Amino acid sequence: MDRRLTVDERRAAGRQARADVPLDSHAEWTPRPDRHSPVAIIQSQNEHRVPWLLPIRHARMGVSPFTFYRGAAAIMAEDLSSTPDSGLWVQAGGDAHLANFGAYASPSRQLVFDANDFDETLPAPWEWDLKRLVASLVIAADHFGAPEIKQRRLAAHAVHAYRTAMQNYADEPTMDIWYAYLTAEDIQGWKGLSKEEMRKRLERFSTKARSRTSLQALAKLTTTDSGHLRIKSQPPLLWPLDEVPTEYGADEVQEKSREVFSAYVATTDDHIQALLSRFKLVDVGLKVVGVGSVGTRCFIVLLEGRDSQDPLFLQVKEAGPSVLEDHLQPSIYEHQGRRVVEGQRMIQAQTDIFLGWTTGNDNRHFYVRQLRDWKGSANLESGTYKQLRFYADLCAQTMARGHARSGDPIAIAQYMGTGTELDEAVAEFAMRYAAQNHTDYAAFEQAIRDGVLPAAETGY
C-alpha cells in the first residue's frame, strides 16, 4: 500500500514551506517590467471569441473598476504568476472574485451556498485564489465608498476568516471535510448582522432564489410558434439558432445539435442518462452570459418532459484552456469541458447532477450544467460596508472548505500560523493590486475611447 504522510509530517511540511516562503513575502507585488498591457491581453482573448459579441463584453467590463476586474482573470493570472508560491497546491477556482460565489439548489433540494463558477479551474497555489478574492473585496469596498483604512481592514478580515476556517478543517476527520456544506439555514446563526436583519435578508434572498426555476425561465426565454415551444428572439442577448448571423455557422450547429447533445448525455452517470431519456430536445438558442464570458459560445437547450409545462433548461458553455495554463502546467484532462466539470466536482460539496461535457463544431469543447435551479447571488452594486464584511466571511470560509477538500488543510494551516502576519500581508497585496486595477481600468477606458476596443452603448 502507498505510504501516507503522518499528521506530524504534514505539519512539518507546512512549517518548512513557511521557512522557504515567509508570510510577509505575500505583501510584495509590483508590475513586472515586461508586464503585458491589459488591453493586449484582452485583445488576445478576443481572437477566439464571437466578434459581434465583443462590444457587449467591453461595455459590461467598462461599467466600473469592479466589473472590469470581473473580466480581467487573464490579466491577474499573469500578475499572480510572479508572486510567492508556498508550494502547497489545491484545486483552484481560478477566478475566485466575490461575484463568483452564490446560492443554488442541492440535489436534496436545499438552498446551499458555494463557489459557482469554474471556467478557469486548475490545480494551483491556494494563495492565487485567496489573493483574487481579497483584491475583489477591496475593489468592491472602494465602489461602496469605503475609505482606504476600511478597505484594508476588510481585506485582513477576509484572510483571517479563511485562515481560521482552514485551521478548523485541519483538525477535522477527512470525511467530515468532504461532507461539509453550507445551507441558508446555517448562515442564520452567523455573527456580523443583527438577527432581525439576517432573518429578513435571508428570507428575501431565499424567496428570490427559489423562484429561479426552469418554469420561470420558460416564461422569460421561450415563445409559442404554431403550438410548439421555441427559444425567444431577443437580440443581441438571446438568439434562436435560425436567426444567428450566418458567419457564425448556425446551420451546422442546428444540424449537429442532437449529435452534440447525445455525446453530452454519454458523459453523465447512468441514472442521469435514465432521467434525461424522459425529456425530448425541443430547441437550442445562443445566449450571452456573464461579464468575462461574453463572446464565448454559450447555448441554452430547451428540453420538455411530460408536457410543455414540464421544462428543463441546460446551459452548454464553451470551455477553452484555463487562463492559469499559460503560467502553470496544463490540465491533465485533454477535454476542457471535462476539466471544468471535474474541477467543480472537486471543489463543490453539493454539485449539479446534470454536469457533463461535449464537443461541438471545429472541435470546440463545451461543458453542460443546469441553467436555473434556485440560483441566487448578492447584489454587488449596492449595499453597506457591514454587509460586505459579512459576505467576505461567507466567501472566505467557503473557499477554505473547497481548498481543504482538494489540498492538505493540515499543511496549509501550519503554513499560515495563528498570528495576523498573513492577514496583513495579503491585505497589503490587495491594496496594491486594487490600485493597479484602477490603472488598468483607465487604460481599458482609453482603448474604448480610441476605438481600439469596440464597445456597445450599454451592456444590455
Percentage of the chain exceeding pLDDT 90 = 72
pLDDT at 228: 83
Binned at pLDDT 50, 70 and 90, residue 252 comes out as: low
Element (H, E) at 365: strand 365-370
pLDDT at 256: 79
- Residue range 321-365, pLDDT digits in tens: 999 999 999 999 999 999 999 999 999 989 999 999 999 988 999
Beta strands per DSSP E along 199-321: 222-225, 228-231, 238-240, 280-287, 298-304, 311-318
CA angle 133, 136, 137 (to 5 degrees): 90
pLDDT at 197: 62
d(C-alpha 407, C-alpha 398), whole Å: 14
pLDDT at 217: 76
Choice between 144 and 19, residue whose per-residue pLDDT is larger: 19
Does residue 446 register a pLDDT over 80?
Answer: yes
Q: Which of 61-75, 254-268, 438-452 is predicted with the least confidence, judged by mean pLDDT?
A: 254-268
pLDDT at 453: 97
Binned at pLDDT 50, 70 and 90, residue 26 comes out as: very high
Taking residues 190-201, what's their average pLDDT?
61
Output the average pLDDT for the chain.
Answer: 90
pLDDT at 394: 92
* Cα-only R_g, the chain: 22
Does residue 248 register a pLDDT over 60?
Answer: no
Taking residues 278-295, what's their average pLDDT?
92
**pTM (two decimals):** 0.93
d(C-alpha 352, C-alpha 368), whole Å: 10
Q: Cβ(130)–Cβ(398) under 8 Å? A: no
Does residue 242 register a pLDDT over 90?
Answer: no
d(C-alpha 335, C-alpha 317), whole Å: 13
Does residue 373 register a pLDDT over 80?
Answer: no
d(C-alpha 123, C-alpha 328), whole Å: 8
- Residue range 260-270, pLDDT digits in tens: 999 999 999 99
Does residue 198 register a pLDDT over 60?
Answer: no
Tell me the HSE value of 328 on the side-chain side, using a 13 A CA sphere.
27
Does residue 367 register a pLDDT over 80?
Answer: yes
Taking residues 176-181, what's their average pLDDT?
94
Q: Identify the top-confidence range among 165-169, 211-215, 220-224.
A: 165-169
Cell (9 digits) for 283 = 430547441
Q: Please give the DSSP secondary-structure letter assigned to residue 416.
A: H
pLDDT at 218: 78
Q: Identify the top-confidence range among 35-39, 47-51, 218-222.
A: 35-39
pLDDT at 359: 95
Binned at pLDDT 50, 70 and 90, residue 253 comes out as: low
Give φ, ψ of 238 to 5 degrees. Answer: -145, 125
d(C-alpha 10, C-alpha 418), whole Å: 16
Q: Which of 287-296, 316-325, 405-414 is predicted with the least confidence, judged by mean pLDDT?
A: 287-296
Residues near 433 by beta carbon (within 8 Å), at least 6 away in sequence = 29, 76, 79, 131, 135, 138
- Residue range 110-126, pLDDT digits in tens: 888 899 999 999 999 99
Cell (9 digits) for 322 = 484555463
Looking at residue 212, its amino acid is R
